[in-house]
Amino acid sequence: MTENPKPEMAKAYDPKATEERLYKFWEENGWFTPKIDKDKTPYVIVMPPPNVTGALHVGHAQRIGVEDAFTRWRRMCGDNVLLLPGVDHAGISGETVVERLIWKEEKKTKNDLGREEFLRRVWLWMDKYRDVIDDQIRALGASCDWTRKVFTMDPGPQKAVRTIFKMLFDQGLIYKAERIVNWCPGSRTVISDLEVNMVEEDGFLWHIRYPVKGEEGRYITVATTRPETMLGDTGVAVHPDDERYKDLHGKMLILPLMNREIPVVADEGVEKDFGTGAVKVTPGHDPLDFEIGQRHNLPIINIMNKDASINENGGKYTGLDRFEARKQVVKDLEEQGFLVETKPYHHTVPYSDRANVPIEPLVMMQWWVKIRPLSDPALQAAYDGRVKFVPERFTKVYTQWLENIHDWSISRQLIWGHRIPVWYCRNCGKMTASAEETGPTNCEHCQSADIYQDPDVLDTWFSSGLWPFSTLGWPDKTEDLAYFYPGSVMETAYDIIFLWVARMVMFGIYAMGEVPFHTVYLSGLVRDEKGEKMSKMKGNTVDPLEAVATYGSDALRFTLLTSSTPGVDAKLSPTRMADSRNFANKIWNATRFIALNLPADMPAVPPEDLIIKVEMPLPDRWIISRYHTLVAEVSRLIENYQLGEAGRLIYDFLWSEFCDWYIEASKIRLNSGDEAKKLATQKVLVGVLEGSLRLLHPFMPFVTEELWQNLPHTGEALIIAKWPTPGKRDEEAERQFEALQQAVREVRNAKVEAKVESKRVPAIIATKPESLTLFQTEREILIRLAGIEAGSLEITDNLPTAPAQAMALVTNAATIYLPLSGLLDFEQERTRLGKEIEEARKEVEKSEAMLANPNFVERAPAPVVGKEREKLIAAQERVQKLQERLATLV
RNA sequence: GGGCAGUUAGCUCAGUUGGUAGAGCGCCACGCUUACACCGUGGAUGUCACAGGUUCGAGUCCUGUACUGCCCACCA
């Protein structure tokens, strides 16, 4: 194994000094790379491949943190774990990035270069940049198997794409059709419905009148938000039942500006109550109009070029940009008296998610996936629970979308991407699909060699949908595929359930006959401090590498994991990251304290050796018991995907219980001079800390590994240490220690309240008989932690007369007198006791009321009622003792 | 138009089988106790958005309302 050179422990934790070294240590020892082993259970998370074109943002950091936390947890549980990394070629944005670069440097377009040359350039760019984000993933500590890293344009995934395309094509599930599609004039390609955003805008609703042919002075007034499209109008539609227009059905209108005759048609799709009740029909440029046109056999006139300028069908407007044309059309209509009115109108406009410009609906021939045969099984998988969502509510989001799904347009008019593996025959005109890398040599129908390939490429999400199995070698029957498919958990953000998750399920079932993962864990979005979505344009992004540099990788990860709940957006604040950094430093110093004083031959204390024995000192029994509780809780929470809550529990345990109480208490025995006691204590210190570090490792991999290496241990590394199993608790010890804690807190509190200057105060403790032994045995804890003057401390269960010049502190197990001779202000003490009595009385009243309710006593579970009775008795005793004391102060 | 979340201490948020509200930060007061000032000790602050209901008991379940955010949807 590769050695991990460890320096002396510094006074504060320095992430920079450890992170890179440990990552290398883990990776070089092969712990990220699972070996196929039939006797072990595989656990697989295929990482969502980030786009090559962008650096990682904190959202990625969060997801990678979640993925790696589950991965590390299962690895420690003994599973054969694979976290598979990859990169996506990012279709449109990949192409755009390179286009811009070439334009900037050479003032050339991709058309100037030609397909082959442009592709060559893209590949050059990709080869240079596709490994850049690897370093970021490493910096975040992801324990992924780099030997299996995949790029969506690698030969494997390329083959997978061609293969599934051919399968679907041959079965008629991929087809070509002319339909109205979303054309993005910015990217000059078709995009799918999911890539269209509806953006609210203030626009206008223009009312235009169309003269009725042959009826001088009669018009139909239509309303439109896009007057320029009238150039392509081939009809006007009204509702069949609309009395206003009934006599006009079938009549002809004269289209203004174009002087074309267009018919009035009656169609159910028109809303009578909206606008004027009459709709201009532009089948070439509007989805609804397209349908109406189909129903009434209206001609389709395309008036736009690919860049959304008006084409030769636009009369005098030919060559104008669509927005220029709009102005001009409105102006002309107004001048010619056709414009009735212009109303301001707030509406939604479809924008291209890719280029951030309004899309243009166009009628075009494109490739489609006939989706129902794929979506129905994917739907079924969610219905019957073969695919579960965390949180559960997203199941409905998923199913509702699939229930209403439309065919998927998969062709893109781009160069960069998976090219459609279909060849056209110039001889017979038929199509040949092929999965071969080189394509077919002849038309499969007429054997002609005169064939050429479709120029388009596929939607990026087409290849992404194959990711869970294309990464493992499909369609080849590889060992990886047989062993690691299906995966376990798919972790991603909820905004790509449709774009990605649904398609993986569809393709997974189609190609493999089995769902690609049993659980979909959905992270929320990470927002900035104000709760706004982070984006480069707003400039409010947090660079994970900067956060890592400032606070450390563990701090960033711990913050992201503990400040969020699955599926809920989280705000990232620097103070939270500082908290987490402080936590890392806290456990660093706790370990430093423990490790510093250990004997050289100190044996390892594995968690399974943490067994409570009756002869152990109380603090040992207490902390071990608390530790076992923690193990059980944390394990349960992680199994239920509640990483945040699990992380918080570990934080509280280590900071509050282990550091503040156990370590402080342990100092007594460490300094006692008794070597046997010292060693016994050290064993518990080491054992509990080591076990807790195991629990914390998935959350803070770097510090925990580093600290673990500094403690006595068996095994090579924490990353491959065994996940602890909970042992037996000792509830009696927990109760006793709590009694001690209560006493200590009371004294500390009293000292502050009475403004005692001296560090140590005298005390007399009158215990209940059953607590006498406890207080006597743990005398040193009281002295040290509460700050009691050792020489004066008297512990008895038989105190004939209470000291007069003393504060009296009443706990459940004892009354503690602090004889502050001369310092005690009687008036103040009476007031204090009065307040305490009042508080205790309130408790008594509350409990009494509950217990007086027969319904509560009869119907509530026995333990709940019992607990309430105990509370009542304790409170009553408290009131009584406080009153007695108050009486003596008169 | 349909759907889904959120609304808890000054701030950021936890609170998953309904048992009577927590953490961190911030604030106030102390404190260099030989691991840690990236620290320790103590303290203050909440009709858990609002209105009903179910229940012995509701921050937690049901109904409705308000505000905020998100998703889906072919009203020109």
The whole-number Å distance from A580's CA to B24's C1' is 10
Integer distance in angstroms from CA A670 to C1' B35? 13
CA A541 to chain centre: 16
Q: Give A775 CA → B72 C1' in Å.
A: 66
Chain centroid to CA A40: how far?
A: 29
Mean pLDDT on A833-854: 86
A513 CA to B31 C1' distance (Å): 68
pLDDT in tens, A409-435: 999 999 999 999 999 999 999 999 999
Strand order in the sheet with A388-390: A388-390, A519-523, A489-493
A888 falls in which pLDDT band (50, 70, 90)?
Answer: confident
* Mean pLDDT, residues A724-742 taken together: 93
Q: How far is the CA of A862 from the C1' of B54 (A)?
A: 22
Round to whole Å and give the CA distance between A423 and A770. Answer: 91
Using left for φ > 0, alpha for ψ between -120 and 50, and beta otherwise, residue A57 falls in beta
C1' (B11) to CA (A93) span, angstroms: 39
Nucleotide nearest to A857 (CA to C1'): B56
Q: Tell me which protein residue sits closest to nucleotide B29, measuring alpha carbon to C1'.
A: A752
Average pLDDT along chain A: 91
Q: Find the residue closest to B37 using CA and C1' atoms.
A: A582
Taking the CA of residue A877 and the C1' sugar atom of nucleotide B27, their distance in angstroms comes to 35
Higher-confidence residue: A252 or A534?
Answer: A252
Q: At residue A601, what are phi and psi to the nearest 5 degrees?
A: -100, 25
* Predicted local confidence at residue A2, as pLDDT: 47
Contacts of residue A72, defined as CB under 8 A and 6 or more positions apart, other chains included, come to A143, A697, A698, A701, A719
CA of A596 to C1' of B11 (A): 39
For residue A623, the tally of other CB atoms under 10 A from its CB is 27
User: Which band of pLDDT confidence, cut at 50, 70 and 90, is reported for residue A26?
Assistant: very high
pLDDT in tens, A333-367: 999 999 999 988 888 899 998 888 999 999 999 99
Give strand letter and number of the nucleotide nearest A273 (CA to C1'): B75
Preceding peptide of A85 cis, ω within 30°: no
Q: For residue A246, how far is the Cα from the chain centroid? A: 56
Average pLDDT over residues A852-875: 86
Any idea which nucleotide's C1' is nearest the CA of A644? B14
Phi, psi of A151 (to 5 degrees): -115, 140
Average pLDDT over residues A7-15: 83
Taking the CA of residue A779 and the C1' sugar atom of nucleotide B29, their distance in angstroms comes to 29
Nearest protein residue, CA measured to C1' of B2: A400
Structural contact between residues A222 and A210, judged by C-beta atoms closer than 8 angstroms? yes
Q: What is the mean pLDDT of residues A371-376?
A: 94
Which pTM does this prediction carry?
Answer: 0.92
Rounded CA separation A886/A890 (Å): 7
Interval A304-326: pLDDT, tens: 999 999 999 988 999 999 999 99
In whole angstroms, B51 C1' to A634 CA is 39
Indicate if the pLDDT at residue A541 is higher than 80: no
- pLDDT surpassing 80 at residue A446: yes
Nucleotide nearest A753, CA–C1', reads B42
pLDDT at residue A5, as a whole number: 44
- Tell me the average pLDDT across A726-751: 92
Calpha distance A798→A814 (Å, rounded): 11
Position A822 confidence tier, pLDDT thresholds 50, 70, 90? low
Asked if residue A81 lies in contact with residue A36, where contact means CB atoms within 8 angstroms, the answer is no
pLDDT of residue A166: 96
Return d(Cα A237, Cα A249) in angstroms, integer.
9
Q: Torsions phi, psi of A555, nearest 5?
A: -65, -45
Q: Residue A203 has what pLDDT?
A: 87
Alpha helices in A674-789 (DSSP H): 675-696, 701-710, 731-753, 772-777, 779-786
Identify the band that residue A853 occupies on the pLDDT scale cut at 50, 70 and 90.
Answer: confident
Q: Which residue is nearest to nucleotide B14 (CA to C1')?
A: A645
> Residue A176 has which token pair?
């070509």
For range A843-865, the mean pLDDT = 85
Distant-in-sequence, close-in-space partners of A104: CB < 8 Å, separation ≥ 6: none
Distance B18 C1' – A642 CA (angstroms): 20
Residue nearest to nucleotide B40 (CA to C1'): A660
Which nucleotide is closest to A863, CA to C1'?
B19
Nearest CA to A782 out of A824, A746, A752 is that of A746
Radius of gyration of chain A (CA): 37
Spell out where A328-385 has E strands. Answer: 339-352, 360-369
Per-residue pLDDT tens over the stretch A286-307: 999 999 999 999 999 999 999 9
Please give the ipTM for the structure prediction. Answer: 0.95
Q: Mind listing the pLDDT tens digit for each residue in A123-139?
A: 999 988 888 889 999 99
Residue A838 and residue A831 in contact, taking contact as beta carbons nearer than 8 Å: no
Please state, as a whole number, how many other Cβ atoms lie within 10 Å of the Cβ of residue A53: 21
**Band of residue A1 on the pLDDT scale cut at 50, 70, 90:** very low
Which nucleotides on chain B have any atom < 7 A from a protein Cβ? 3-6, 12-16, 19-20, 23-25, 29-30, 33-43, 55-57, 70-76
Confidence of residue A823 (pLDDT cuts 50, 70, 90): low
Task: Report which of A696, A694, A672, A735 is spatially closest to residue A610, judged by C-alpha positions.
Answer: A694
Q: CA dist A89 to A85, A162, A199, A503, A628, Å? A: 14, 16, 28, 17, 47
Q: How confident is the model at residue A850 (pLDDT cuts 50, 70, 90)?
A: confident
Residue predicted with more confidence, A361 or A531: A361
Nearest DNA or RNA nucleotide to A532 (CA to C1'): B69
Distance in Å, residue A38 CA to nucleotide B35 C1':
46
pLDDT of residue A40 exceeding 70: yes
Q: In what order do the strands lie in the sheet with A260-266?
A: A252-255, A260-266, A235-238, A278-281
CA of A279: nucleotide with nearest C1' = B76
Q: Looking at residue A246, what is its pLDDT? A: 86
For residue A330, the one-letter residue type is V
Q: What is the pLDDT of residues A455-477, one digit of tens each?
A: 999 999 999 999 999 999 999 99
Tell me the pairing of strands A794-796 and A278-281: unpaired
pLDDT at A720 over 50: yes
Residue A443: predicted pLDDT: 94
Nearest nt (C1') from A846 Cα: B20
- Nearest nucleotide, CA A587 to C1': B36
Tell me: the pLDDT tens digits for A560-619?
Answer: 998 878 888 777 778 889 999 999 999 999 999 999 888 888 999 999 999 999 999 999
Tell me which protein residue sits closest to nucleotide B35, measuring alpha carbon to C1': A593
Q: What is the pLDDT of residues A616-644, one digit of tens each?
A: 999 999 999 999 999 999 999 999 999 99
Residue A890: per-residue pLDDT: 67
Give pLDDT, residue A687: 96
Name the residue closest to the C1' of B57 by its CA.
A856
Residue A685 has a pLDDT of 96
CB atoms near residue A706 (< 10 Å) = 29
Handedness of CA A848, A850, A853, A857 (dihedral sign): negative
Q: Quick one: average pLDDT of A849-870?
A: 85
Q: What is the pLDDT of residues A779-821, one digit of tens each?
A: 999 999 999 998 889 999 988 888 888 889 999 899 999 987 6
Distance A36 CA to B16 C1' (A): 36
**Rounded CA separation A460/A96 (Å):** 14
Amino acid present at A140: L
Under the phi-then-psi rule, with left for phi > 0, alpha for psi from -120 to 50, and beta for the rest, what region is A148?
alpha
Q: Considering only A117-121, A211-215, A429-433, A632-636, which range has the smallest mean pLDDT?
A: A211-215
Work out the average pLDDT over A635-661. 93
Task: Tell me how crowded residue A828 is: count the other CB atoms within 10 A of its CB.
Answer: 13
In this prediction, residue A538 carries a pLDDT of 62
Q: Which one, of A204, A196, A199, lies nearest residue A180 by Cα?
A: A196
- ω into residue A7 within 30 of 0, thus cis? no
pLDDT of residue A532: 66
Nearest nt (C1') from A568 Cα: B5
